[in-house]
Amino acid sequence: PRFITVGPEGSGANYSRIGDAIRDAWVNATIIIFPGFYYEDVIIGKPLTIIGNYGVRIFGTIRVWSDNVHFHRFEIGGGPFGFSIRCVNITISQVNISYAGVGILTMDSQIKIYNSTISNTLLEGIAIYGSGEVYIYNTSIIRCGRSSPSPGILILGPSIVHIENCTLQDNAWGIFALMDAEFRVFYTEISKSLVGTLLISSRGMIGGSSIHNNILDGVALFNSSNVYLDSSLISNNNGAGLLLTGNSIGIVVNSTIESNGWGILAFDETNLNVFNSIIVNNLNEGIAFLSNGIADISYSSISINHIGLTLRRYSNSTILNSVIDSNDFAGIILADNASIIVNGVRISSEIPTKSYGIISYDWTNATINRSMIEQCNIGIFSVLNSSIKLTNSSISNANTVGILIIENAKINAQNLNLSFSNWAGIALYNNATLDASNIFIHNTTWEAIVAFQHSKLNLENISIMDTGRGITLRDYSELTISESSIDNVMYEGLFIADNSKAHIEGIEISHVGISGISLYDYSNITLNNSIIQKSGWANIAAFHQSHITIYNTHLNSSDAVGLTLLDRSNVIVNRSNIALNTWGIMAYGNTTLTIHNSTIANSYWEGVGAFENTQIQITNSTLTLNRLGISTYDNATLTIHYSTITGNRDLGILNRGAIPVNATYNWWGSPKGPYHPTQNPEGDGDKVSDNVIFDPWIGKT
């Protein structure tokens, strides 16, 4: 018959045993089971529809050996399997499977499971083998495989499994796919398992789902697996939200990964693409690639993790148009030959006293463009042979230093705005290198740039303003700077010490509190085509056996002295102008000064003052409109020839020292020569004191 009923004795049903009803039923018949307990294993070898009622409980296993079998509305359990199926077009709906060995076992089958519950199985809730296709809808799989341990859903082999609107909770594993399996999960909750979803050599798509509160990882991929995660939430897993290993691929789109041990953790040549997603509040890294991985991240937010992104051991990443914000220790860490491209990214911290923007070390490489790094302890920390190219970007509000470069690291910076650092804009140590052009550094509390221990600076078109110091060189460091300006600094524009060197071309230094340029301790600079002016003390000061060559430069309008030399320093001035200072040049303490083709004018006091054992040679130069053109004291030695000494208010030359000044062959403003009351009383040029040899002079007839 086409319709058969099964029920307990006395129920009026056609049969009391399900197996008997199946044996006698026609193909495609419908068997209706009345409420009751049925203790039997059932084998189905023909197409049938079996419909139960609430209260139907089968203790045993249903084995399906025929296609086109449909089950509805009953409970089953107690056997080694709830269902064992190796057929196609099988439907299971509104079935409750519990306390079986395996809830549903399928092999090479096509099955639809919906509106059902599978719980408390010894092994898998659903085990899918072979190359079939399984659809699972509106189904709960709970507390399966916990003692084995086994997963809620096992997919082994090239089956395709569709899971939608399901709950997998409290299983040993949520979904376990291996050996070329493929699944698609939508609008599903997977929680409280060892791992929410585990793939080995398999593929998966997860959309609109929540994977949370798992003991280890939310989603874990091994051995060339790949997963596409879309519009999903992965949260509160103790391990990684997403774990990638062994050549696996992860694609994360429109998703949130939050409050896990790690947001995304990757090993061993894996590949990750993150788009328009949020990686937030993870205990360790938001994203960590530990060896040979590739990560492409765009339009995403990586925030409030311990570290935003870590790349190690030849890993590579590109980050575009994203935010890396408020991470506890660092926004990005690169190590061990890793590399990264950062474009259009904002990196910042809510705890600027302890957080780094970018840390790069051990032969790493970074390219940063159109990005902002702000409110970090250190904006960029580059160390141990790392290399960074920084363009069209800004670094601001660093608690200590905007950029720190150490131990053979190198940074190339172009079109950079660096501001409001509490110590230095850029600091270099131990053979570090900075190549920079078109940079604006302003509002740093101390140095704009400071270099120590054999570091090298190559700077072009740099603007420094409103800082403590402009540039500091120490410990054999080297500077090449051109077409630049330093303005309104509290102390020195350039402070160069400890055998350091600088080649300076076409710069302007003005409005400095102490000196435009200060040299100490065997340092050496060449200054060309520049303007140093409006210093609070000296436009240039040389101490402790330093050496300066000045060419075609203006040293003007200092509050004290245009150029001062002390402690056996050596200065050469050629084709330069020193004017409108309180003192033009002051030389002390065994220093040596050579002046060629230069002008020293409009000094309030001396144009040139020589003290102690200094030695000064002046040729083809002009000293004019000073109060004293030249004054010498102590044992200073001064010679001046073929020069113009005119218009000085008190004296052209005042010698108060023991050694005569040799001032022959100079122009004194008159063919009659300088005025001396006894040696040349007819002279009407500038006056000279005693102990000055001025005859012959230029123009003498």
Rounded CA gap, 105 and 139, in Å? Answer: 16
pLDDT at 350: 73
Question: In one letter, which amino acid is 553?
Answer: T
- For the chain, domain boundaries: 1-194, 595-693
What is the 8-class DSSP label of residue 675? B
Render the burial of 368-383: b for 16+ CB within 10 Å, e for the rest.
bbebbbbbbbbbbbbb
DSSP structure string for 618-667? EES-EEESSSEEEEE-TT-EEEEES-EEE--SSEEEEE-SSS-EE--S-B
pTM over the 0.95 mark:
no
Contact between 330 and 353 (Cβ < 8 Å) = no
Query: What pLDDT shows up at residue 148?
Result: 85
- Is residue 636 predicted with pLDDT exceeding 80? yes
Q: For residue 236, give the 3-state DSSP assignment.
A: coil
Which residues are CB-neighbours of 199 under 8 A, at least 6 positions away? 177, 178, 181, 219, 220, 221, 222, 225, 226, 227, 248
Mean pLDDT of the chain: 96
Kindly report each contact of residues 69-77 with a partner whose C-beta sits within 8 Å and lies 24 or more positions away, as own/partner: 69/44, 71/95, 74/33, 74/50, 76/100
Say how many C-beta atoms besides its own lie within 10 A of residue 179's C-beta.
14
- pLDDT over 80 at 406, yes or no: yes
Q: What is the pLDDT of residue 349?
A: 86
Q: How far is CA 490 from CA 270, 446, 502, 678, in A?
A: 52, 9, 21, 50
Asked if residue 352 has pLDDT above 90, the reply is no
State whether residue 20 is helix, strand or coil.
Answer: helix
CB 646 within 8 Å of CB 673? no
pLDDT in tens, 271-314: 999 999 999 999 999 999 999 999 999 999 999 999 999 999 99
Q: Could you tell me the pLDDT band of residue 351, with boundaries at 50, 70 and 90?
A: confident
**Backbone phi, then psi, for 666, in 5-degree steps?**
-125, 160
Q: For the segment 476-523, what is each residue's pLDDT rounded down to a tens digit?
A: 999 999 999 999 999 999 999 999 999 999 999 999 999 999 999 999
Q: Rounded to the nearest 5°, which phi and psi values hold at 12?
A: 85, 5
Q: Which residues contact 329 (CB under 8 A, 6 or more apart)?
A: 306, 307, 354, 355, 356
Residue 678: exposed, middle, or buried by beta-carbon count in 10 A (0-12, 13-18, 19+)? exposed
> Phi and psi for 663 in degrees, rounded to 5?
-125, 40
10 Å Cβ neighbour count for 625? 18
Question: What confidence score (pLDDT) does residue 394 get?
Answer: 98
Ordered alpha helix ranges (H), 391-448:
none
The CATH code of domain 1-194 reads 2.160.20.10
- Whether residue 609 contacts residue 583, with contact meaning beta carbons closer than 8 Å, is answered with yes
Question: How far is the C-alpha of 407 from the C-alpha of 425, rounded, in Å?
Answer: 18
Rounded average pLDDT over 548-573: 97
> Amino acid identity, residue 32?
I
The per-residue pLDDT for range 223-246, each reduced to its tens digit, is 999 999 999 999 999 999 999 999
